[in-house]
Structure 1
């Protein structure tokens, strides 16, 4: 950490635990800004960041003054600030490209005659491998070992590369596979609440802040750590010490009162808040919790809320520091000296949660916790909360929309054809047609639950609701209940500590008896790694157009995400996941229908097997110990014998193997030690004419790789059969695959080829894939431009939306308006963002795609400069228009002049 100039003289010292720390005092800042006691705590974190890095260039006193203004207007007139997080968190899908870029920078440094070892993350980076395990095997004691073995087989090339990075880079740590989910590892071990770093003989203390390459980075907001998800390029900027550009946000305060009632879980609270905040509209805003009810939530409950921030739509969902924060830090084995520092720093800086204190927010909402009732969410969106007592009836209403017709019913069992029958003992579904499953002694129907998964960081960080699931399993087992045979069950904890306390409490045996065996430590079902359904069940579902269902304790249930065979997906608490697995159908009303019969033939209801809050609390108190955390995280970076057995090639630089997963990208080919002036864009051809609201999902490669696509062709040419294509996400470290999938979304519409969808364009009148046309233009030395409409590049901030654009040869993107982060990403990759002026658009200018485009004055560019663009039409006429260069700051201009942020940092380090 290299602090700025401190022209406001706010640097002072703090003593904690017998040690002195340098801090940047918010109290001293009040001499300039006035009383800050009413500023939301989350904004105090940002203000401290400005004080610490103020240098008159990237961070100015105007940015600091804006926080005083915020108190007057609630953030209604935001300004852009340059924010530097303390650290970066990555998962393996999104982290691999960043490490590829670091490795490529080392090669380039060597070419420039510099020392490759100078290329390292400049802030701490932790990468947790958690996105690659799939539920291929389930319902047995061997499931975990078999799934891990399959994971290593699939991902050997990626893991070899990441293990090299673990040993080659400073400030870079890798948590190996089979350890846990990045957000739970972050909560239980990596996060410190107050961060420290040494610089020039002093130890600085400051808030623990981070950006992560996974949207659910916000989980750690529950531990009073300010963090959120970003795209890969912003994460790379952060790890290379460059500021992340952001607006000072509006902050919505959510006041909590009361206490959760008997029978309600943290998951029910989360689903209630998700609907509330979605209805309110908090996209791009901070949410901060306050009020007396906060004190009635455990830190694990707070983390469960923080995790769902992306589902609210907010940037973060933050809880200030209090006694519960300190309790959790002790319970998870953090050092006592760190805990003393957290308390002293929070109280000194006004970051401590005081009972009765209410900050000034942009707007507020209020929730009485005592009104929360059991609920699920679905069938397609996390915010679509359904009260549990209404779930069965709501499903029947939703099916018609999902399948385009009503549930198939029969009046009498003897009316059903031979291949169809009524499942014996199934409640609430006697009138629904069941279809035989490959000769098995059961059938499936519209509403059959075929996946029940206790998974995802949202809930598996919370011992109370996991113990509740174990107790439901114990009581169900004692009554002789069994999970329905068509249900694929799985348990994927967020960390190994979960296994320790479930086993110590004895409830893992009960979960195993119901088929909820350990399948892996990772995201699994929640990110679509649910693995295949048994083939006869899959065939029956698809042959009969059935709406099969999943119930998972995850955070996302978007259409098509969980399994290609499942069209209705519901989020629920872990104990409700167990209950629904016993019921086997969404038609069963868990609040009144029996789940089955006990050994004496008596009906068993959910209330008969639901644990009390006291039972849950006693089990947690007796079986969750700080020693478990200390032991499990004592050698967290070591990995198992499989990880240790991976051979690593390369020393300071990577020995790039022949791989279809990891390739050395061409960003630095021909790079000199000094940047040349940007080249003027002359006689460029148009690659695409795109409409409004083209998202980064449209631009960036995502999902499955089609056999007949340019990426599929490339893989087949490299002897990869279709069954081993894997996804674009898994191959993010190979630019050859990713650039072939850029602008190739099946729903993108390029108006150069009217009335069509998909990644196609025209080259000399011939229709072809965008990638093929781009390569023909490259062979001719022809630069390219892309035109867009309003809100170009909105949606998730995907790094490959910008990386793929530059690799295709696009020099400029011209639009009516642009999403802020995608604009920043384009500049970070050396692509010029230009905005129409005077009401112009490509439609009003009559463009068809045959024109040539020249942009004048690029070589003498300044921030926010107007440039002349000449359009040469196919009939020989031409027209000049004026556009605004959306390079807004001097830092952005430096990135652009260097060809991108990686080039800028590389040259600085080489010098």
Structure 2
């Protein structure tokens, strides 16, 4: 039977369940990835399991989010992570070495392996043909402890690529075209598998860009075949021995199918304030631009920085436009410098920052009041930049460079009359730098873990009661992101290892009075619309609300990772059977879940809920395993009681 590539990898790693879309499966995980904004809590969760060493093929911890050391908190957490990695056998990438996705692809990624990461853009590993999935920190901690990763078996959307990209267009325009077609929830529950003759025209880092931002489609993951371009990249990184050929079988089936002719792609841009709000650059050309940033977790590779450098070479950025560059890794910057790109960027007025996520998660680089910011980042959710009512656009490096030069949004094809399009070839041999990665050794296993005063113990949560009584604490609209639930930024992210402190900011961007109100309610319920919890994998968006007393969320539909995180921390993830019942659940209403524990134990999918004395029906679409975790009050409770994660 002919099989697609996704199914091949899933079959090779399957440990439980059937490969039937929607049914829960468990797969063996080869690699785990943590970054510091999620890693501190995940490391505390791993420690709570009482193991001496990690039990996964390769575990890596990157420091790329909380790089701003405005007080002791971030520095303390970095030392905690470094010493914990040494103690437990985890690779540690030091601050400034690079963004997790870029560095993992450079130094560790291998075709055909599975990886989960506590970062929603982990699927960027599609660049080297890994089946990589974003997950909550607790799921990653469990994988580090040797447990399978459980998730709903995805459908596979096969996208056949033909043709080649025209000048002044690049991989960012490809994924923006996908977002124009599918929006931010059109690929929920799916792996997007690219194949066809057009694939060969895309480099490994082009594919990383597309895989990284596939997350914005709502996709579980994205994947490309491992071919000559993959081999070329791995050999250039000095890791040719990691390459194997992987592809879908000829004539295989896909659950859904699409075609995309790369030669028809044109410059695209995602307008405020959603990655799915995509328009042609030509439609918004002429708008004054105050800030341009190239880099972050996507579009921060050698190719992306060099094409930017070549476009601006011999010119200077517009006097009214701030021009920033965030390299994806120290190695990327070294190679760009070797090719003369750093000097070209500096002479063009670029501010070259350390390798890290920086402005993508509101860690600096916030635009001014009312200013327009063009970024090659993956997200532009409201307020994510650190500025309220921000005006953030997402675009390719070519479009960003054109705006930096002209001071207004500019179709980069308009530069064609001034210069030839710079087509960038990857180096035949990269300058390889892994000097800032600390590899685990038996000697380091004797390291004492250092804990700063902001690193608090995990809170303990009660099991599910027989009957749950609560009040509606807040009702929100469609597409609320995890940034809306638990904001990031330089003020809040340093509190990530202190749940009591970070919980003071739950829903802060949506309703500044939420925390003070919920404290007077006792047990609480959150009501939401469609695609609730899209965006980042941060489990704090489940953990902190649970700490405040949220015991259930009733919404029209959930984003995948957030729903799993809710189960992990004992919050009931319910959906309205009748979406019109959303209107009945106003803030302050009394909500009763009669005999809720009995309903879960009996496997009921339909859960009756009394709202001010009126009964509505909600749906609980979770696995039997997740039901046990919810009854126990969360996954850690269940594991400590002897259950399997």
TM range (shorter): 0.7 to 0.9
The structural deviation recorded for 1:128 is: 1.0
The structural deviation recorded for 1:179 is: 0.5
- Given that residues 265 and 465 in structure 1 are in contact (C-alpha distance below 8 angstroms), is that contact kept between their aligned partners in structure 2? no
The structural deviation recorded for 1:274 is: 3.4
- Structure 1 residues 313-712: aligned runs within 5 Å: 313-334=218-239, 336=241, 338-339=242-243, 342-343=244-245, 351-352=246-247, 357-392=250-285, 395=287, 447=288, 449-461=289-301, 463-474=302-313, 477=314, 481-531=315-365, 538=368, 542=369, 547-562=370-385, 564=387, 567-586=390-409, 607-613=417-423, 616-617=424-425, 620-621=426-427, 625-626=429-430, 628-629=431-432, 632-633=433-434, 636-637=437-438, 656-659=451-454, 662-667=455-460, 680-681=465-466, 684-686=469-471, 688=473, 690=475, 695=480, 697=482, 700-703=485-488
- Structure 1 residues 208-223: aligned runs within 5 Å: 208-223=113-128
The range that moved more, 556-565 or 246-255, is: 556-565
- Given that residues 91 and 439 in structure 2 are in contact (C-alpha distance below 8 angstroms), is that contact kept between their aligned partners in structure 1? no
The structural deviation recorded for 1:485 is: 2.9
The structural deviation recorded for 1:858 is: 3.3
* Paired position in structure 2 for 1:733: 497
Cα distance in 2 for residues equivalent to 1:282 and 1:830: 27
Which protein shows a greater Rg? 1
* Paired position in structure 2 for 1:803: 543
The structural deviation recorded for 1:271 is: 3.2
- Given that residues 866 and 882 in structure 1 are in contact (C-alpha distance below 8 angstroms), is that contact kept between their aligned partners in structure 2? no
SS at match of 2:487: coil
The question of 1:86 aligning with 2:26 is answered no
Cα distance in 1 for residues equivalent to 2:266 and 2:621: 50
The structural deviation recorded for 1:559 is: 4.1
Deviation readout 1:349-402 (Å, 9 max, x if unpaired): xx4357xx3432233222222223344443544444444555425x4xxxxxxx
Cα distance in 1 for residues equivalent to 2:77 and 2:214: 30
Deviation readout 1:424-444 (Å, 9 max, x if unpaired): xxxxxxxxxxxxxxxxxxxxx
Cα distance in 1 for residues equivalent to 2:582 and 2:271: 40
The question of 1:189 aligning with 2:107 is answered yes
* Paired position in structure 2 for 1:232: 137
What is the aligned counterpart of 2:93 among 151, 157, 175? 175
The structural deviation recorded for 1:519 is: 1.4
- Given that residues 77 and 452 in structure 2 are in contact (C-alpha distance below 8 angstroms), is that contact kept between their aligned partners in structure 1? no
SS at match of 1:747: coil
The structural deviation recorded for 1:332 is: 1.1
The structural deviation recorded for 1:698 is: 8.4
- Residue correspondences, number: 639
Cα distance in 1 for residues equivalent to 2:411 and 2:220: 36
The structural deviation recorded for 1:129 is: 0.9
Name structure 2 gaps, 5 residues minimum: none
Q: CA separation of 1:310/1:482 partners in 2, compared to 1, >3 Å: closer, same or farther?
A: same
Cα distance in 1 for residues equivalent to 2:395 and 2:605: 53
- Given that residues 119 and 909 in structure 1 are in contact (C-alpha distance below 8 angstroms), is that contact kept between their aligned partners in structure 2? no
The question of 1:902 aligning with 2:636 is answered yes
Deviation readout 1:607-630 (Å, 9 max, x if unpaired): 3334443xx34xx45xx514x12x
SS at match of 1:215: coil
Name structure 1 gaps, 5 residues minimum: 1-34, 54-58, 67-74, 107-115, 135-149, 194-206, 344-350, 396-446, 593-604, 640-647, 670-677, 705-725, 749-756, 761-767, 778-783, 874-878
What is the aligned counterpart of 1:304 among 209, 216, 231? 209
* Paired position in structure 2 for 1:826: 566
SS at match of 2:418: helix
Deviation readout 1:565-602 (Å, 9 max, x if unpaired): 8844333333443332222233x67655xxxxxxxxxx
Q: CA separation of 1:872/1:249 partners in 2, compared to 1, >3 Å: closer, same or farther?
A: closer
Q: CA separation of 1:522/1:859 partners in 2, compared to 1, >3 Å: closer, same or farther?
A: same
Q: CA separation of 1:864/1:243 partners in 2, compared to 1, >3 Å: closer, same or farther?
A: farther
The question of 1:48 aligning with 2:12 is answered yes
SS at match of 1:288: strand
Q: CA separation of 1:84/1:693 partners in 2, compared to 1, >3 Å: closer, same or farther?
A: farther
The structural deviation recorded for 1:847 is: 10
- Structure 1 residues 215-294: aligned runs within 5 Å: 215-278=120-183, 281-294=186-199
The question of 1:864 aligning with 2:612 is answered no
Which structure carries more relative contact order (alpha carbon 8 Å, separation 6+)? 2
The structural deviation recorded for 1:255 is: 1.4
